[in-house]
Amino acid sequence: MSEYQRTGVLSRGDLLQMPSEAQLEKGVAFIECVQEIPCNPCVDACPVHAISMKDINAPPYVDFDRCTTCMKCVGVCPGLAIFVIKVKGERAWVTLPYELLPVPVVGLSVEALDREGKCRGWVKVTRVVKAKKTLLVTVEVDRSLAMDVRNIRVRA
Amino acid sequence: MRIRHHPILDFTAREPLPFTFNNKPFTGEEGDTIASALHAAGVKELTISQTYHSPRGFFCGIGKCSSCLMRVNGVPNVRTCIAPLLKDILVETQKELAAPPTAPYIGPGKRMISTDVLIVGAGPAGLCAAQQAASHGAKVLLVDENPRLGGQLIKQTHKFFGSLQERAGTRGIDIATELEAEIRKYEQKGLLSIMAESTVIGAYEAAEGYRFGLVKRINYQTQLFDVRCGAAILACGAMENMLLFPGNDLPGVYGAGAVQTLMNVYGVKPGEKVLMVGAGNVGLIVSYQLLQAGIAVDRIVEAAPTIGGYHVHAAKLRRCGVPIKTSHSIKEVYGKSAVEGAVVMQLDSKWKPVPGTEEAVPCDTVCLAVGLTPSTRLLSQLGVMLEYIPEAGGFVAIHDEMMQTRIPRVFVAGDASGIEEASTAMIEGKIAGCAAAKALGYQVRAETLAVFIDEVGKLRAGPFGEKPRLAKAKIEALTREQHV
């Protein structure tokens, strides 16, 4: 039994793939979907066929080099489990799916939350894209937080 | 208690509807049920226990239990959780049990309906069954207890898992709209009739085919129908499980379905702070829906040592700061006339309470998401062979791969045939719809059925499909045994 099955929180060791520094600089879709569940819309959503699955129950595999960070998979994933991560020097940009209120706008300072919902600091929203009713929100974070920030809290 | 702003759903104010409750003026909104209007006005107490004289609220919220029976315009025992609110009605709490009627039947005389296929339940399974049966030429009568079609789909704000064929990536509410639009086309062609707010109350003997009694509710009165059909598909879903603990009947202890119905169909907050019991997919999904509706979830307790639902659902909650306590359960609920809080406790590896771990959780709502039991009463009355299969959630009808029970031309589909989820329910409905049409002599290509059977097999192939796989294997073994 993995710890995440008890807590609901993934640790680094649970993640099936890790992009290289060069791939992170280019930008990648990062999928935090480690269980065998019957679901595959991300595979169909990817216009460059960068996401593959052995069968519908297998966890997705991302070809990081092929990924263009178009974010189509982020908007379609039923588990809200796909993030886009891009780094440059000491800065990083995390795009995350957001289906709560209040709605963030570009330039707003929001709390950056990790996988346990802990606040890791205040960050700026740099982009908000609508994928039907899911908002794809990009926040600029410190490079060291690129693999930790997975949610935001918007104060009303 | 109204939700006005929601990230997915639109709850702009609708036409106000005045009504009277226990001699006091109230106002609900167009589209409300009586119970949702009362809840929105802060009234959670709907009935009084005849034995304990204690207050009761509703539990299931979808017309399955009987905790919401009230007198409406003088008519006793109205299920207020599914009865639409009408202007200027008189609603009263029943102080005592309503006297049984003296006439054999109250209401207008019965009417006859004859059809090829009767489908009971217009959830994901029933809607897909109707679509398939009608598309193969069969005349279909689709019946549902609720005012709106779609069953539990109309409460699902999340995008569905599964494959593209089963509309993965589309929200449940949108799937309901799409499926309804498809069957409305057959309705326009005269191939399909839909009866909402109607309950199939029993199966009766018939010289040929099958005969069912059906009651349609019209303004709290009923109209009886005598339905004759060549085949029947029972896609009547499931009932929420209850847990035994002191205080479990206090208003504010709700089934997950009731919470979803109140907040996602009627736009009414079940409460301000919720304790969720159960970390299966239902408990996790409803917890997230509560957050979306602006309602706090204090924590989720799960008696099992691991989270039963998908990790991705759990992760969404954890990153919003909602704790999930595995090996924890509810001990009791406290409160005078409604829930004021609950006591939770830790369980050891043998699922026994660990002394000294009790913790009080102040909250106004306790939501139970502790599994479902298939609805099999009609099947039972028909004399269909039922077996107790724990992996299927209780007693289920023995059925073959075509979803046919041991009684010819009587089919099951969806949760009524064993608890699973909506994607597989949709495919089971398609199979039953095709098979029913075929059994009545309509042409159905063997490949059509083969594709559906292959798809449902693929969806069940992973570790999360283990339970339904086991259940279906047991059912299949019993089917074979019976044929020997």
Nearest CA-CA distance, residue A53 and chain B, Å: 12
Same domain, B346 and B258: yes
Helices vs strands, H then E, count in chain B: 10, 26
Domain count, chain B: 3
Look at residue A46 in the predicted model and tell me its pLDDT. 98
pLDDT higher than 70, residue B106: no
Look up residue A28 and give its amino acid.
V
Are residues B311 and A34, on separate chains, in Cβ contact within 8 Å? yes
Section B184-207 average pLDDT: 95
Nearest CA-CA distance, residue A4 and chain B, Å: 8
Residue B311 contacts A where some CB pair is shorter than 8 Å:
yes
Look at residue B326 in the predicted model and tell me its pLDDT. 98
List residues of A whose CB lies inside 8 A of any B CB: 1, 4-10, 32-41, 44-45, 55-57, 76-81, 99-101, 103, 113-118, 133-134, 150-151, 153
Using alpha carbons, list the distances in angstroms from residue B197 to B26, B82, B109, B120, B264: 24, 8, 18, 12, 19
Q: Which range marks the domain in which residue A47 is found?
A: 4-153
Of B158, B318, B458, the CB nearest to A78: B158
- B334 belongs to a structural domain: yes
pLDDT tens digits, one per residue of A49-63: 999 999 999 999 999
Q: How many A×B Cβ pairs under 8 Å?
A: 140
Residues of B in contact with A148 (CB under 8 A): none
Instruction: Search chain A and give the residue with CA nearest B322.
Output: A117
Section B181-209 average pLDDT: 95
Instruction: Search chain B and give the residue with CA nearest A42.
Output: B169
Same domain, B63 and B26: yes
Are residues B168 and A41, on separate chains, in Cβ contact within 8 Å? yes
pLDDT higher than 60, residue B484: no
CATH code where residue B310 lies: 3.50.50.60
Are residues A1 and B305, on separate chains, in Cβ contact within 8 Å? yes
Sheet holding A109-113: strands in order across?
A28-31, A82-88, A91-98, A134-142, A119-131, A109-113, A151-153
Residues of B in contact with A73 (CB under 8 A): none
Same domain, B272 and B199: no
The interface residues of chain B toward chain A in range 416-455, judged by CB-CB distance below 8 A, are 423
The confidence band for B481, taking pLDDT boundaries of 50, 70 and 90, is confident
Look at residue A72 in the predicted model and tell me its pLDDT. 97
Residues of A in contact with B295 (CB under 8 A): none
Residues of A in contact with B316 (CB under 8 A): 79-80
Residue B160 contacts A where some CB pair is shorter than 8 Å:
yes
Are residues A80 and B312, on separate chains, in Cβ contact within 8 Å? yes
Are residues A79 and B322, on separate chains, in Cβ contact within 8 Å? no
Of B314, B423, B464, the CB nearest to A8: B314
Q: Which domain-ending residue is among B372, B400, B431? A: B372
Q: What is the mean pLDDT of chain B?
A: 95
Look at residue B231 in the predicted model and tell me its pLDDT. 98
Reported as type and span, the H/E element at residue B273 is strand B273-277
Are residues B312 and A114, on separate chains, in Cβ contact within 8 Å? no
> Model-level pTM?
0.96
- B193 belongs to a structural domain: yes
Q: Which candidate, B369, B461, B460, B394, places its Cα nearest to that of B421?
A: B460
- Block means of pLDDT (10 residues each) for chain A, length 156 residues? 95 95 98 96 97 96 98 97 98 98 97 98 98 97 98 94
Residues of B in contact with A41 (CB under 8 A): 159, 164, 168-169
Look at residue B225 in the predicted model and tell me its pLDDT. 96
Of B6, B163, B313, the CB nearest to A40: B163
SS3 for B457? helix
Residues of A in contact with B306 (CB under 8 A): 1, 5-6
Q: Which candidate, B238, B237, B235, places its Cα nearest to that of B141?
A: B235
Nearest CA-CA distance, residue A23 and chain B, Å: 24
- B246 belongs to a structural domain: no
Residue B310 contacts A where some CB pair is shorter than 8 Å:
yes
Section B289-318 average pLDDT: 98
Same domain, B86 and B148: no
Section B238-263 average pLDDT: 96
HEC letters along chain A: CCCHHHHCCCCHHHCCCCCCHHHHHHCEEEECCCCCCCECHHHHHCCCCCEECCCCCCCCEECCCCCCCCCHHHHHCCCCCEEEEEEECCEEEEEEEECCCCCCCCCCEEEEECCCCCEEEEEEEEEEEEECCEEEEEEEEEHHHCCCCCEEECCC
Q: What is the ipTM metric for this complex?
A: 0.98
Same domain, B92 and B156: no
pLDDT tens digits, one per residue of B390-401: 999 999 999 999
Are residues B318 and A116, on separate chains, in Cβ contact within 8 Å? yes
Residues of A in contact with B464 (CB under 8 A): 35-38
Look at residue B46 in the predicted model and tell me its pLDDT. 95
pLDDT tens digits, one per residue of B122-172: 999 999 999 999 999 999 999 999 999 999 999 999 999 998 888 999 999
User: How is residue B313 written in tokens?
Assistant: 């659902």
Look at residue B109 in the predicted model and tell me its pLDDT. 82
Look at residue B32 in the predicted model and tell me its pLDDT. 97
Section B315-325 average pLDDT: 98
pLDDT higher than 90, residue B177: yes
- B447 belongs to a structural domain: yes
Residues B270 and B286: their CA atoms lie apart, in Å, by: 12
Residues of B in contact with A78 (CB under 8 A): 158-161, 168-169, 312
Residue B168 contacts A where some CB pair is shorter than 8 Å:
yes
Of B318, B319, B459, the CB nearest to A56: B459
Q: Which range marks the domain in which residue B196 is found?
A: 111-238+376-483
Look at residue B272 in the predicted model and tell me its pLDDT. 98
Are residues A8 and B317, on separate chains, in Cβ contact within 8 Å? yes
Look at residue B483 in the predicted model and tell me its pLDDT. 61
Residue B4 contacts A where some CB pair is shorter than 8 Å:
no
Same domain, B189 and B233: yes
Residue B303 contacts A where some CB pair is shorter than 8 Å:
no
Nearest CA-CA distance, residue A46 and chain B, Å: 13
Look at residue A98 in the predicted model and tell me its pLDDT. 98
Q: Which residues pair with B115 in a beta bridge?
A: B229
pLDDT tens digits, one per residue of B329-351: 999 999 999 999 999 999 999 99
pLDDT tens digits, one per residue of B52-75: 889 999 999 998 888 999 999 988
Same domain, B300 and B352: yes
Q: Which domain-ending residue is among B103, B133, B152? A: B103
- B2 belongs to a structural domain: no
Residue B3 contacts A where some CB pair is shorter than 8 Å:
no
SS3 for B252? coil
The confidence band for B482, taking pLDDT boundaries of 50, 70 and 90, is low
Residues of A in contact with B314 (CB under 8 A): 8
Q: What percent of chain B has pLDDT over 90?
A: 88
CATH code where residue B28 lies: 3.10.20.440
Nearest CA-CA distance, residue A70 and chain B, Å: 17
pLDDT tens digits, one per residue of B436-475: 999 999 999 999 999 999 999 999 999 999 999 999 999 9
Section B249-272 average pLDDT: 97
Residues B35 and B354: their CA atoms lie apart, in Å, by: 39
Domain count, chain A: 1
- B234 belongs to a structural domain: yes
